[in-house]
Structure 1
Amino acid sequence: MKYSFRQLEVFLAAANFQNITRAAESLAMSQSAASSALKELENQFDIQLFDRVGKRLQLNELGRLYRPKVEAVLAQAKELEQAFSKHTEVGALKVGATLTIGNYLAVGVMAQYMNTPTHPRVSLEVANTSTIARRVKDFELDIGLIEGELHATELEVLPWRGDELVVFCSPDHPLASKTSLTDDDLREATWIMREQGSGTRQSFERGMHGLLSDLNVLLELEHTEAIKRAVETNLGIGCLSEVVLEDAFRRGSLVPLKVPEHRQFDRQFYFILHKQKYRSAGIDAWMELCRQL
């Protein structure tokens, strides 16, 4: 730009006080600095904004034309300065979420976030834990929501909320009539599982320690809905988040199975951020909305 905000401030002060000395005092400037700023503004555009009568400055026709425009520019600049200093402006976000979170929780948070006064946009990428972690690490996403444990030196991993995996089957499956399963039941069952690299698979394998090599895994699928449909058709039994299964249990299209007490399937959902990523007001607002779920 050919002009500075300081030059515009001097122009408005001079228009207000009609005296360069008083204008300079109001801006905590020397008289010579204020005079130079005003002259530079006029010389840069080869214009004259004041009629000079002795020590008195009086806006001419051109000055009166531009005064409201300059006031508007400086008012907007002041608002922007306040927003920068307070860090309260909520802006657009690039969010990554694992499949369970992205398909069943994140969309509701998006709706609330986009309904804030500035109506910011949110892009949501849904993938497995390893993919979301890589995208956050490469600064391609502002924040990630994951369901698997993660150890990465570049990333900050913050607990969000608890979750639990549930083993389930169709109402017609032979195991549906059992009040409780044994480890032998788990070995003999046919499984429909999430793919390797997913947080759900990671939590499942932790809970099934000691049995993994004996399990009969028929299918490994990336999508929770595909797993539910496969289990509904009696291809096998599955293990997914309780968040994913609530509606199906309520309808009766799937039923939960009680596993041995020593099989623990509780876990955490996490926020992940790059350690060098600036924590904007938008990121803070998103995390707060997630915690309110």
Structure 2
Amino acid sequence: MKYSFRQLEVFLAAAHFQNITRAAESLSMSQSAASSALKELENQFDIQLFDRVGKRLQLNELGRLYRPKVESLLAQAGELEQAFSKHSEIGALKVGATLTIGNYLAVGVMAQYMNTPTHPRVSLEVANTSTIARRVRDFELDIGLIEGEIQAAELEMIPWREDNLVAFCAPQHPLAKQRSLTDDDLRAATWIMREEGSGTRQSFERGMHGLLPDLNILLELEHTEAIKRAVEAGLGIGCLSQVCLADAFKRGSLVPLTVPEHRKFDRQFYFILHKQKYRSAGIDRWMELCRAL
């Protein structure tokens, strides 16, 4: 074999950091050793994987072509190494989840995944849909759990579970006593909303088609708990996933609102994977636990 796994690791680190010094630090190597490994890899096959501009390394067309293949090969090698050393097929996992899923569903799955004799580690990043999709696309996350639909040729979207958005208000809000709301009520209300780029906002705007230009949006917040507190304080009404409102409805600190029947707030949660990503036993186990919720 003309290349080593170490050379491939240097290639991926350099592609990620776009700087050989930072790539070397991430692999606990000297800068000269990392630079030599990358140079040897290119020289052995008489290829160039990066465009070099000063100290910056930018993947060229050939580098971008081979990056997913190298990522997949090293993932399989890492899983095999862990199986040899720990006698386990399930290894550490890097998971990304959107806010609703990350804050209300993923932590329970993490506990089950890590509760095995080998105690595999799970790192969880919580962000909005567009951020999670980008990090899965860049191989920075093994799998993403999202609540919005995306269009990305590199990513595979796998349906997970159904969800519904629910409009809600504080018990003392004037709309709390209405059996159902009209479109005029929705126009007149003051809204506390999730930010642009979130899956929740995407689903809300789809359900409010035709009313969007007329809505009075007072605040756009990135966190569901902040939205719930603002609504509890009487600043307006909100619309979030039933998953994150269930406890508040039970306590009576918030109350659901019935929107017109033609306003559809149903949606789908998805798993997202890079199409070139090696589907490890750990990823399969994670998806199995999620589906069992």
Question: Structure 1 length as normaliser, TM-score?
Answer: 0.71
Describe the SS at the equivalent of 1:148. coil
- Corresponding position: 1:271 with 2:271: yes
Deviation at 1:83, TM superposition (A): 4.6
The equivalences for 1:229-244 within 5 A come to 229-244=229-244
Query: C-alpha offsets along residues 240-277 of structure 1, whole Å, 9 cap, x if unaligned?
Result: 00000000000000000000000000000000000000
What letter corresponds to residue 149 of structure 2 in structure 1?
A: E
Judge conservation of contact 2:88–2:118 (CA < 8 Å) in 1: no
Deviation at 1:82, TM superposition (A): 11
Aligned to 2:202: 202
Aligned to 1:280: 280
Deviation at 1:117, TM superposition (A): 2.3
Aligned to 1:42: none
Query: C-alpha offsets along residues 133-161 of structure 1, whole Å, 9 cap, x if unaligned?
Result: 00000000000000001110000000000
What letter corresponds to residue 278 of structure 2 in structure 1?
A: Y
Aligned to 1:190: 190
Moved segments of 4+, more than 3 Å: 80-84
- Corresponding position: 1:139 with 2:166: no
Tell me, which stretches of 5 or more residues in structure 1 are unaligned?
1-79
> Closer, same or farther in 2 for the Cα pair 1:81/1:181, shift >3 Å?
closer
Aligned to 1:119: 119
The equivalences for 1:51-130 within 5 A come to 83=83, 89-130=89-130
Judge conservation of contact 2:82–2:91 (CA < 8 Å) in 1: no
Aligned to 2:262: 262
Distance 2:287 2:144 in 1: 10
Judge conservation of contact 2:192–2:238 (CA < 8 Å) in 1: yes
Distance 2:274 2:290 in 1: 18
> Closer, same or farther in 2 for the Cα pair 1:81/1:93, shift >3 Å?
closer
Distance 1:82 1:197 in 2: 37
Distance 1:232 1:81 in 2: 52
* Rg (Cα) greater in structure: 1
- Corresponding position: 1:159 with 2:159: yes
What letter corresponds to residue 210 of structure 1 in structure 2?
A: G
Describe the SS at the equivalent of 2:270. strand
What count of residue pairs does the alignment treat as equivalent?
A: 212
Aligned to 1:248: 248
What letter corresponds to residue 163 of structure 2 in structure 1?
A: D
What letter corresponds to residue 239 of structure 2 in structure 1?
A: C
- Corresponding position: 1:212 with 2:231: no
What letter corresponds to residue 121 of structure 1 in structure 2?
A: R
Describe the SS at the equivalent of 1:176. helix
Tell me, which stretches of 5 or more residues in structure 2 are unaligned?
1-79
Judge conservation of contact 2:160–2:270 (CA < 8 Å) in 1: yes
Distance 1:82 1:102 in 2: 27
Aligned to 1:224: 224
Query: C-alpha offsets along residues 227-246 of structure 1, whole Å, 9 cap, x if unaligned?
Result: 00000010000000000000
Distance 1:82 1:121 in 2: 12
Distance 1:165 1:229 in 2: 17
Distance 2:292 2:214 in 1: 41
What letter corresponds to residue 241 of structure 1 in structure 2?
A: S
Judge conservation of contact 1:88–1:281 (CA < 8 Å) in 2: no
Percent of residue pairs identical = 86
